[in-house]
């Protein structure tokens, strides 16, 4: 341009579309990593809500209530309302609780959602004890050992505590109770779905052994729904020692790797995912010895990973697989191909998968 400086002839060039897309992509990536980095905050906030019984307090009023009303009901002479407000704000954002301003002026009212109803301690279907268990320091510690397991092999729980989880539980009554309470609650949730979906599957069974049945809640529910069945709850001696009495159910202590009580059918909920293939085959072969060859069967309630699934529990099933790394002796969640191979090698080549509206599925298998 006449009379202009050399710089006047240089036009400003805006960033290319590719550069803008890359910038936006990197920003999203950064946000995702921050989110994953602090994902533990979800669990910690849930644990806090369960320990403070926030859902129970709201539920007891029968309607949404104010922060000050919640604070008044917390078991403490001087709860810190500012801390409570920050916890509830986070949980409202996570859609665990609702927050609504009343007409006109007044304090915000906090209410329950379909999610927070699962936090009720006295609810028939409650995940509160499971939240307490999974956030217990003893169960969190092995997750920090994943890198060591990748580098050196071994068992994460053993690296964290010097022994495996079953030995740890038998030596720690308080932890054992927390663990058993959590398992009993998951049993209530899953067995309701199993009984509704399996329907005629229990009809022809005279005797049913629940292998690794914990304190007996699952087989008790089956017997309650099908009174003609004689139920046997089979687990380690220190586990059945704490079991309650149930009509139609006997408790038997033992070791499934040694032998299993004889029955028409065997029930196993979340047992085989605790063990590696070799151990599972031992358990399955002992199951085969314990049931009639022609009419016997095993009813497995366990997680089945389907990589292309896009249902409500897809990510949770993958998280459970990491949980097996953290807490079990080389246990894992399996795909259908892996289950098929395991069942065949364990003596159960015929099987049917029955989907139920919850996290695990039913695998009904028959001996060769």
Torsion of CA 196, 236, 365, 352, to 10 degrees: 40
Tokens of 262: 């004889």
Burial bucket for residue 157 (CB in 10 Å: 0-12, 13-18, 19+): buried
Contacts of 321 (CB under 8 A, 6+ apart): 303, 305, 332, 333
Q: With contact defined as beta carbons under 8 Å apart, do 134 and 43 qualify?
A: yes
Kindly tell me the number of DSSP H helices and DSSP E strands found in the chain: 16, 12
273 is catalytic: yes
Tokens of 215: 């304190």
β-strand 207-211 against 109-112: which pairing, if any?
unpaired
User: 98 - beta bridge partners?
Assistant: 111
List phi, psi (to 5°) of 8: -65, -25
Contacts of 136 (CB under 8 A, 6+ apart): 175, 178
β-strand 361-366 against 297-302: which pairing, if any?
antiparallel
Tokens of 245: 């009495």
* Catalytic member of 136, 273, 327, 330: 273
- Rounded to whole angstroms, what are the CA distances from 136 to 132, 148, 202? 6, 21, 36
Residues serving a catalytic function are 273
């Amino acid at each position: 341009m006449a009379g202009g400086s050399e710089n006047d002839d240089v036009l400003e060039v805006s960033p290319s579309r590719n550069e803008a897309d890359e910038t936006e992509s990197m920003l999203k990536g950064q946000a995702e990593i921050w989110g994953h980095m602090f994902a533990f905050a979800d669990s910690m906030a849930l644990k806090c809500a369960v320990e403070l019984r926030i859902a129970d307090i709201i539920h007891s009023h029968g309607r949404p209530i104010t922060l000050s009303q919640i604070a008044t009901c917390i078991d403490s002479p001087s709860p810190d309302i500012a801390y409570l407000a920050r916890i509830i704000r986070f949980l409202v954002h996570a859609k665990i609780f609702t927050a609504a301003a009343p007409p006109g002026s007044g304090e915000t009212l906090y209410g329950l959602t379909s999610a927070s109803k699962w936090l009720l301690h006295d609810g028939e279907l409650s995940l509160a004890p499971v939240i307490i268990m999974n956030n217990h320091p003893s169960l969190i510690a092995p997750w920090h050992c994943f890198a060591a397991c990748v580098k050196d092999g071994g068992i994460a729980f053993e690296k964290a505590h010097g022994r495996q989880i079953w030995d740890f539980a038998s030596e720690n009554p308080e932890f054992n109770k927390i663990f058993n309470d959590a398992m009993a609650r998951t049993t209530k949730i899953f067995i309701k779905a199993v009984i509704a979906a399996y329907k005629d599957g229990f009809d022809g069974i005279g005797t049913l052994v629940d292998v690794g049945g914990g304190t007996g809640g699952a087989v008790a529910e089956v017997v309650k729904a099908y009174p003609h069945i004689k139920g046997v709850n089979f687990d380690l001696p220190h586990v059945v020692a704490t079991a309650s009495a149930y009509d139609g159910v006997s408790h038997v202590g033992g070791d499934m790797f040694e032998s299993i009580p004889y029955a028409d059918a065997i029930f196993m909920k979340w047992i085989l995912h605790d063990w590696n293939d070799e151990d599972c085959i031992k358990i399955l072969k002992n199951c085969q010895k314990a049931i009639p060859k022609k009419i016997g069967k095993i009813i497995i309630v366990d997680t089945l990973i389907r990589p292309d699934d896009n249902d409500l529990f897809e990510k949770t099933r993958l998280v459970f697989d990491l949980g097996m790394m953290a807490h079990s002796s080389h246990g894992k969640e399996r795909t259908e191909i892996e289950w098929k191979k395991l069942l065949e090698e364990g003596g159960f080549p015929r099987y049917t998968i029955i989907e139920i509206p919850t996290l695990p599925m039913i695998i009904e298998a028959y001996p060769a």
